Structure 1
Amino acid sequence: MELTYLHTFLEVAKSGSFTQTAEKLGYAQSSVTTQIQKLEESYGAVLFERFGRRMKLTHAGEVLLGYARDIIRLHGESKEAVSAQHGGSLAIGTIETLAAFFLPPHLQAYQRAYPEMNVMLQPGNEPAIIEAVRTGELDLGIILDPPFADPDFHTVAVREEPLVIVMHPDHLLAGIAEVAVSDLAGESLILTEDGCTYRAMLLGALKEAAVGCKLSYEFGNLEAIKQCVVYGLGVALLPEIVVREDVRLGKLAARPFAHPACKFYTQIIYAKKKWVSKPFRHFLEQVGGSAMAG
Structure 2
Amino acid sequence: MDSNLLHYFLRVAELGSINKAAADLSLSQPALSRHIAALEHEMGGELFTRTHGGVVLTEAGKVLADRARPLLRQFSLIKEQVGEKAAGHLAIGIPQAWQHVFTSPFVCALSQLYPHVSLRVFEGVSNVLRDYMSAGLLDLCIMPFDPTPTGGYQQTALVRDTLIVTGAREQGLTPDTPLTFNDLDAHRLIIPGRSNPLRQYVEHSLTRRGLRFRLAVETDTLNLCLEFARKGLGLTVLPGCAVQPQWIGEDMGWAPLKGSYITWALYENQTRSHSEALREGRRLITTTLAESLSNGRWYGAEPADLSLRGPEI
What is the alpha-carbon distance in structure 2 between the residues aligned to residue 93 and residue 175 of structure 1? Answer: 30
1-side partners of 2:214 and 2:184: how far apart? 10
Question: Which residue in 2 is equivalent to 1:47?
Answer: none
Counterpart in the other structure of 2:284: 286
Q: Give runs of aligned pairs for residues 1-294 of structure 1, distance below 5 A.
A: 87-99=87-99, 102-127=102-127, 129-130=129-130, 132-133=132-133, 136-143=136-143, 145-146=144-145, 148=147, 150=149, 152-174=152-174, 177-245=177-245, 249-259=249-259, 262-289=260-287
| Distance change in 2, residues 1:191/1:152 (3 Å) | same
SS at match of 1:210: coil
TM-score, L = length of structure 2: 0.57
Partners of 1:273 and 1:224 lie apart in 2 by 35
Instruction: Point out where structure 1 has 5 or more consecutive residues left out of the alignment.
Output: 1-84
Tell me which amino acid in the other structure corresponds to 2:276.
Answer: K
Q: What letter is aligned with 1:190?
A: I
CA distance in 1, matches of 2:159, 2:121: 20
CA contact (8 A) 1:87 1:114 kept: no
Pair 1:208–1:235, CA change in 2 (3 A): same
Following TM superposition, by how much is the alpha carbon of 1:103 offset from its aligned partner in structure 2, in angstroms? 1.2
Aligned-partner SS, 2:177:
coil
- C-alpha separation in 2, matches of 1:283 and 1:223: 27
- The total of aligned residue pairs comes to 204
SS at match of 1:170: helix
The CA distance in 1 between the partners of 2:189 and 2:234, in whole Å, is 5
What is the distance in 1 between the residues matched to 2:280 and 2:200?
33
The change in CA–CA distance for 1:249 and 1:173 in structure 2 (over 3 A counts) is closer
Structure 1 residues 147 and 120, CA gap change in structure 2 (3 angstroms): same
Contact 1:167 1:174 in 2 (8 A): no
How many Å apart are 1:224 and its aligned residue?
1.8
Kept after mapping to 1: 8 A contact 2:207/2:213 = no
Measured on the aligned residues, the alpha-carbon RMSD in Å equals 2.9
Q: How far apart are 1:88 and its partner, in Å?
A: 2.2
Asked if the contact 1:157–1:288 (Cα under 8 Å) also holds between the matched residues in 2, the reply is: no
Distance 2:186 2:199 in 1: 17
Query: Is contact 2:239-2:262 (8 Å) kept?
Result: no
User: Which digits, 9 at most, give the CA deviation of each residue in 1:234-264, with x for residues without a partner?
Assistant: 11101222242168742211111124xx331
Relative to the length of structure 1, the TM-score reads 0.60
Quick one: which amino acid aligns to residue 277 of structure 1?
S
Q: CA deviation at 1:111?
A: 1.0
CA distance in 1, matches of 2:164, 2:284: 27
Structure number with bigger Rg:
1
Contact in 1 for aligned 2:189/2:217 (Cα 8 Å)? yes
Q: Which residue in 1 is equivalent to 2:27?
A: none
Percent same amino acid at aligned positions? 18
What SS does the aligned partner of 1:179 have?
A: coil
Shift of 1:105: 1.0
